[in-house]
Amino acid sequence: MAQEFPELLNMRAVRIGIDDSFNWVVEHWSETLEEIFLPIVHLLRAIENFLLWMPWYVVIAIIVAMGLAATRSKWVALGLGVMTFLMGFFGLWEPGMKTIALMLTATFLAIIVGIPMGIVMSRSDRVERIALPVLDIMQTMPIFVYLIPFVMLFGPGKIPALLATIVFAVPPVIRLTNLGIRHVDREVVEAFTAFGATRRQLLFGVQVPLAMPTIMAGINQTTMMALSMVVIASMIGAGGLGYQVLQGIQRLEISRGLLAGLAIVFLAVIFDRIAQAYGKRMQQHLHLGH
Amino acid sequence: MTQQETKIGIESVYKIFGPDPSSVLDRVKDGAGKQELLEETGHTIGIRDVSLDIGVGNIFVVMGLSGSGKSTLIRHINRLIEPTDGRILVDGEDVLRLDAEALRHLRRYKMSMVFQRFALLPHKTVIENVMSGLQIRDEAGGGLIPKGGPVGGIAKRLGLSSGTANAEARDRAQAQVDLVGLQGFENQYPSQLSGGMQQRVGLARALATDAEVLLMDEAFSALDPLIRNDMQDQLIQIQNELSKTIVFITHDLDEALRIGDHIAILRDGELRQVGPPEEILMAPADDYVSRFVKDVNRGRVITVGSIAAEYPAVELVAASFADALGKLEASERNTVYVCDGDGRPVGAVTTKMAQEGRDLSGPIADDSKLDPVQTVDSAAVIEDMLPLAMKSEVPVAVLDGQGALAGGVPRRTVLSALVRRTE
């Protein structure tokens, strides 16, 4: 028989140490943290309430209009409208709106946090060297692992669901902001340096605008990641379509899981089409003229 | 070429690339070779002991092939690259001593730059691009930071966007757009324009800041040959109007000879020769330079003035033929020009006339007995005078700017200037 791996360190003690110190944080800080994150829950609720307050046909009309504005194709816009309609037709209007609200809030916050982080990363090679592996770890770590500390801190509910979604969804926008700024034509940056631009003028006047198509691609990916987190986040109280899938699993109802799954796919298609078309148009504007 | 006041002085500048340039500076100064330095220390030499005086109002061309260090050198002048050693003086002030603030001021008001691949903002229109150099002067960001869109929104939140349209900047930008001939294209985007037009935008942007010094880094190298010629003509024309001090980088000797008042030739980061175009052509300092100038169309570069020789002259009314023949004998020339009261040549007396036994007695009085003389301006290139030289038995008289006699050019000199190879 193969030899067993020797125990070099009492791992049980180490684990207990980690758990205990985290428990200490939970005990002493969870209330403060909950208060800090309360505003984002208000934001989520506001979006959720607004979406549910609007009549369903208005929501469909808005999505069709956005699709039309972004893609300039009436067929694509119509398709997006039909998908939204089907979501209601499946009896999943309310969970659907809740999912959209969660996704929008998470994406919005991920952008607010991610773009500045990407900018910081693009300005220092050392920061980039440290940040890239961290982002790699964030993206390869099983999603469920994120849930544990958040649930411990806040208990099941909207806050841990939202935070876990943000942490999971933020890497692409950081990565692509960094990449976009680093790939801005060096000669243009040099030109504006030669004309006496400050670092701030370079950043907002040259680098960020020219990196915008890449940043948009990052935002699009972040949106998709947030959506893919929805099912898992529902396990800790996010509600919405994910909860329907979860119920399907628990009750072994294939129909419930299937319909909710389809609705999630519809949402993914809707947001992907709109965001991608918008990003492409921006690129056209930058490289092929108006 | 008269020596003018120095605008930019480059004094024994060294640039070494590598992990610790100053540690190997002494070795470079002692003449360490490029190859041995790279192998032993991992440093490369960008510029080695280059000194240049760039005169006010000159077009100073730095010429060299790729890797010669010319682009590195031009970037020292506005400190896009910091030298390892040496001094850079602009109007007598050491640029290297400037702090960040003063350096920005220098870049905003005193120097502007034109780039090989234009370096325009693709999301701005022509007029906005031309304005952008001016807008940088507004510390708050001014119009450079977009007012609308996601970026503008964030910028506004951070209090960066002043939002006021700078009408004066727009007027100035419009004047430059007119100057480079882009009227009607103001609201186009760079990607809608040809390369030549894009570079006109780059040039207009550089001119809009009204800087005294214009740095041009291979500005026309990316353009088609025909467009390049147009741009060179336009640059010369603009220069005649504005009299900037222009430092122009190129790898193209024809371009250098065409636009340069002075030319510096760089190789491997070292200065090989500096001088006016004719000097480079007529007296290459070494093999490298002479290999370079071998294929140049000399007729279009060498000016008549530079090959003109001194000739004796007498005045039409005052002198007799005897005076003229006396001068002829005293000089080594075969011709004496006869000039009117203003010094304008009206004819010539030659040794040949005397040999032919023509009646050469008494006062000259009028030009009836004289050989006719062809004249050419000293600023003309020799290609222009070639037909005259072929036709005329008498050396062609060279006139100065006022039309007075400045010298003469015999046919032989023209031909040897055209075909001359360095020995």
Instruction: Tell me the C-alpha distance between A192 and B337, whole Å.
Output: 59
% residues pLDDT > 70 (chain B) = 91
Q: Are strands B245-250 and B59-63 parallel, antiparallel or unpaired?
A: parallel
**Cα(B314)–Cα(B184) distance, integer angstroms:** 59
Token couple for B258: 């065409």
Alpha helix stretches (DSSP H) within B220-294? 225-242, 253-259, 277-282, 287-293
Res B164 pLDDT > 50: no
Confidence of residue A82 (pLDDT cuts 50, 70, 90): very high
Strands B6-17 and B44-55: antiparallel
Q: Which superfamily does A33-287 belong to?
A: MetI-like (1.10.3720.10)
Q: Do B121 and A209 touch (CB under 8 A)?
A: yes
Kindly report the nearest CA distance between residue B69 and chain A, in angstroms: 17
Pairing of β B245-250 and β B213-217: parallel
DSSP-assigned letter for residue B348: E
Cα→Cα distances B422→A178, B109, B286, Å:
56, 44, 9
Give the pLDDT confidence score for residue B111 in this predicted structure. 93
pLDDT given at position B140: 59
Q: Which two tokens stand for residue A182?
A: 């680093």
How far, in whole angstroms, is CA B169 from its chain's centroid? 29
Would the CB atoms of B107 and A210 count as touching at under 8 Å?
A: no
Residue A9 has pLDDT above 90, yes or no: no
- What would the mean pLDDT of A39-53 be, rounded to a whole number? 92
3-class secondary-structure state, position A46 = helix
Report the gap between the CA of B210 and the closest CA in chain A (Å).
12
pLDDT tens digits along B22-66? 888 988 888 888 888 888 888 999 999 999 999 999 999 999 988
pLDDT tens sequence across B267-299: 989 999 999 988 888 888 888 888 888 878 788
pLDDT above 80: residue B357: no
Distance from CA of A77 to the nearest CA of B (A): 23
CB contact under 8 A, A201 and B136: yes
- Phi then psi dihedrals of residue A121, to 5 deg: -65, -35
> What pLDDT score does B144 carry?
57
d(CA A85, CA A30): 41
Read off the pLDDT band of B161 (50, 70, 90): very low
ipTM for this model: 0.78
- Asked whether residue A282 carries a pLDDT value surpassing 80, the answer given is no
- In this predicted structure, what is the pLDDT of residue B391? 84
Number of Cβ within a 10 Å radius of residue B255? 21
Q: CA-to-CA distance for B113 and B74, rounded, in angstroms? A: 10
Determine the Cα–Cα distance for residues B32 and B48; give it in Å rounded to an integer: 11
Q: Which residues of B touch A (CB under 8 A)?
A: 78, 80, 103-109, 111-113, 115-117, 119-123, 132-133, 136-137, 139, 141, 144-146, 150-151, 154-155, 160, 188-192, 209, 215
Contact B324, B353 (CB under 8 A): no
In B67-197, beta strands by DSSP E: 85-90, 93-94, 111-114
Is residue B15 a contact partner of residue B69, using CB atoms and an 8 Å limit?
Answer: yes
Kindly state the average pLDDT of the residues A200-210: 91
pLDDT tens by residue, B306-327: 888 888 888 887 888 888 888 8
pLDDT digits (tens, 9 = 90+) for A150-198: 888 888 888 888 988 999 899 999 999 999 999 999 999 999 999 999 9
Complete domains list, chain B, with CATH: 304-419 (3.10.580.10)
**H or E segment at A190?**
helix A186-194
Inter-chain touch A195–B113, beta carbons under 8 Å: yes
Distances (CA, A) of B102 to A208, B94, B99, B109: 26, 11, 5, 11
Residue B349, CA distances (Å) to B219, B338, B404 in order: 51, 7, 18
Give how far Cα B301 sits from Cα of B19, B57, B383, B398, Å.
Answer: 44, 20, 8, 17
pLDDT at position B139: 66
Q: What does the pLDDT read at residue A81?
A: 94
Q: Are B273 and B285 in contact (CB under 8 A)?
A: yes
Element (H, E) at B50: strand B44-55
